[in-house]
Amino acid sequence: MAATILAVARNPRHRFSKPVCDAITLLEGLGVEGDAHAGVTVRHRSRVARNPAQPNLRQVHLIHAELFAELAAAGFSIAPGDMGENVTTSGIDLLALPVGAILRLGEAAEIAITGLRNPCVQLDHFTPGLMAATLGHDAGGNLVRKAGVMATVRRGGVVRAGDAIAVVLPPAPHRYLAPV
């Protein structure tokens, strides 16, 4: 199956969920135009409280729609934008990408994967039990964070549902994703 964008979302206010829209515009070095998390420096409230000058490695949040199917099997009803993501993907294993992987979204936009979203208690405020459902363990017993990946914008452009996603891996050796 080809990697595609299923939905795009943004919210100008700091709210947990983001309403789905027809298109979003990615701005180089900033993030999603009109989204509360856009900026050169960190915009997530907990990170701003610790150090407002740190670089924003969380300009764009992506979640794979395959997670929604997994959550549905566990009794959760989650739709695009519900978990605060800007881009909902299909047909790409986001969690397996290395740090620095480039995703070309649509005709012009490019983002660089910076790390994992660390599931937090806000998930349980949205739907009780959701945080635990977005955590798992691999065969070696290592913690697996499934709540998506974060990225920065390398090249701006308009991104819509139905757009193709192309992946460009960085040179080896690859670094595994860690929470950012």
173: left (phi over 0), alpha (psi -120 to 50) or beta: beta
**pTM for the model:** 0.96
Residue stretches of the chain with pLDDT short of 50: none
Task: Classify 31 in phi/psi space as left (phi over 0), alpha (psi -120 to 50) or beta.
Answer: left
Question: What is the H or E stretch that residue 47 is in?
Answer: helix 45-50
Tokens of 162: 């139905």
Q: How do the domains of the chain map onto residue ranges?
A: 4-168
Q: Is 122 helix (H, G, I), strand (E, B) or coil?
A: helix
Q: 35: closest CA among 55, 58, 51?
A: 58
Where in the chain does DSSP place strands (E)?
4-9, 20-21, 23-27, 31-32, 60-64, 87-90, 102-105, 109-116, 135-137, 143-145, 149-155, 157-160, 165-168
Q: What is the pLDDT of residue 96?
A: 97
CA distances from 42 to 45, 152, 177 (A): 8, 11, 19
Q: Scanning the structure block, which residue is given the tokens 């806000």?
A: 122
* The pLDDT of residue 107: 95
CATH number of 4-168: 2.40.33.20
| Tens-digit pLDDT profile for residues 159-178 | 999 999 999 999 999 999 99
